[in-house]
Structure 1
Amino acid sequence: MTTDTPIEDKTTSLGRAQDELANLIETLIHLGVQVHDFTGTNEAKAGLANNINKVIGQLQEISTSHDLKEYSIPMEVLNYVEDGRNPDVYTREFVEVVRKVNQFLNGKAVGFGRFRDVLGDKIIQEFPELTDSVHDIKTRTS
C-alpha cells in the first residue's frame, strides 16, 4: 500500500496511530475483496468472519489507544471523510483559504503602516513639538 504522506516515526504516538490506521485500511481492503468474491463455502464464511473480527479488534484498539488522545480532529474533517471525500483535499483547501486571508491581512498591515508614516510626517510638519512622540510611536509600532 502506498500513500502520498510519509510514514511518521513509529516510536512517536502519531506514527503508531498512523501505522494502526494503515493496518485497519489494509484489513478493510482485504474484507472488501472477500465480500466481492464470496462463494458461500464454509471456508469463505470462516475467512470472512475472521476478517470481520479482525476489523472489530483493530477498531477497538484504535478507539482505546492513548496515541490519538492528544490530537483533536476537526469535525469538518470527519464530515469530509464521512461524505467519502479525501481529507487531503480539505487540508489543501484550508491552507489555500488561510494563505488568502494572510495575504489580505498582510496587505492591511502594510497599508496601515504606510498610513501611520504619512500621518506621522504630516503631524510633524504641523506640530514640530510632537516630533519625539511621533518617532516613539513609529518605532513601537514598526
Structure 2
Amino acid sequence: MTTASIPSSDNLSVTVEKLQGLIENFIELGVLVHDNQGTNQSHTALIHKTNQLIGQLGELETDKSTEQYPIPIDVVSYIEDGRNPDIYTREFVESTAKSNARLKGRMKGFEKLRDVLGVKLAQEFPRLAPEIEEIKKRTSST
C-alpha cells in the first residue's frame, strides 16, 4: 500500500464532519416530516431539506477519501431498521472471534495429526525420516 492511498487524518475528520452534518439533516428531515402541517411553507421546507440531503449525499459519494471505506450493506440495513450500527460491529467482532477460535482449534488438530502421522510413517519407513522432519519444519506454525 502506498502512502498516497492512506488517507490523512484531515481527510477522515472532514469525512466525519460531512457524515455528522448528514445525520443531523436526516434528523431534521424526520422532524419536518413528522410535524408537517400541509401548508406551502412546510412543503417548501421539506423540498429544501430533501434537496440539501441529496446534495450532501452526492458530495459524499464523489469524495475520494470515502472510496477506500465501503460501507457494508448490512450496516445500511441496520440503520434503515432504526438499529445502532455499533451493534452490527459488536456482533461482527464476536462472530469473527468465534470463527477464529474454531479455525485455531482445527489448525491445532491438523498439527497433531501431522505429528502422529509423521511418527507412524517414520516408524514404518525409516528412510523417509529426514523428509518427514523437513515437512514438519515447513508446516510448523512456530
Q: TM-score, normalised to structure 1's length?
A: 0.72
Q: 2:14 corresponds to which residue?
A: 16
3-state secondary structure, aligned to 1:11: helix
- Is 2:135 aligned against 1:137? yes
* Contact 1:10-1:19 within 8 A present in 2 as well: no
* Contact 1:24-1:55 within 8 A present in 2 as well: yes
Unaligned residue ranges in structure 2 (runs of 5+): 1-7
Q: 1:98 corresponds to which residue?
A: 96
- Distance change >3 Å, CA 44–CA 126, structure 1 → 2: closer
Unaligned residue ranges in structure 1 (runs of 5+): 1-8
- Distance change >3 Å, CA 127–CA 42, structure 1 → 2: closer
Report which stretch shifted further, 101-110 or 51-60.
51-60
| CA distance, structure 1, for counterparts of residue 39 and residue 58 of structure 2 | 29
Q: TM-score, normalised to structure 2's length?
A: 0.72
- Distance change >3 Å, CA 38–CA 62, structure 1 → 2: same
Residue deviations 1:14-46 (CA, integer Å, cap 9, x gap): 332221010122233345456666789998887
Q: 1:125 corresponds to which residue?
A: 123
3-state secondary structure, aligned to 1:73: coil
Q: Which protein is richer in helix relative to its size?
A: 2
Q: Percent identity at matched positions?
A: 48
Report which stretch shifted further, 68-77 or 131-140.
68-77
